[in-house]
Amino acid sequence: MTRAELLTYCLTKPGARLDEPWDGDVVVKVASKIFAFLGSDSGSAVGLKCGHDRGAADEWLLRYPGDVSVMAYIGRFGWNTLRTGGAIPDDEVLEAVDGSYDAVVAKLPRKDRPA
């Protein structure tokens, strides 16, 4: 899966929008919250919320030790970096995007949730 395909998929989510909070680093948000970190144009990874806490997110590390890492700073909250184009099947990456989106939307105030 290419970065462009992954970005396109993220943007199909209700209320999703592209943002660049740091120069050259692309993220996808719903309301004011990030659900996918895509990084720079040359990136081949995506940062996603992979569990409600670090313990749940560690399952990804066990299944794909060479292609998943704990995200700096926010990893303790269940965020991982998943490398695309490696051992993780594309459909599992897309499922992880769905899960990250759902987890972030669930934490939004009702008034900020997409219809």
Q: Supply the DSSP string of 47-63, one letter for each residue.
A: EEE-SSSHHHHHHHHHH
Which pLDDT tens digit goes with each residue over 36-58?
A: 999 887 778 999 999 999 999 99
Residue 102's pLDDT is 97
Q: How many CB atoms lie within 10 A of CB 53?
A: 10
Which pLDDT tens digit goes with each residue over 42-99?
A: 778 999 999 999 999 999 999 999 999 999 999 999 999 999 999 999 999 999 999 9
Residue 14's pLDDT is 98
pTM value?
A: 0.94
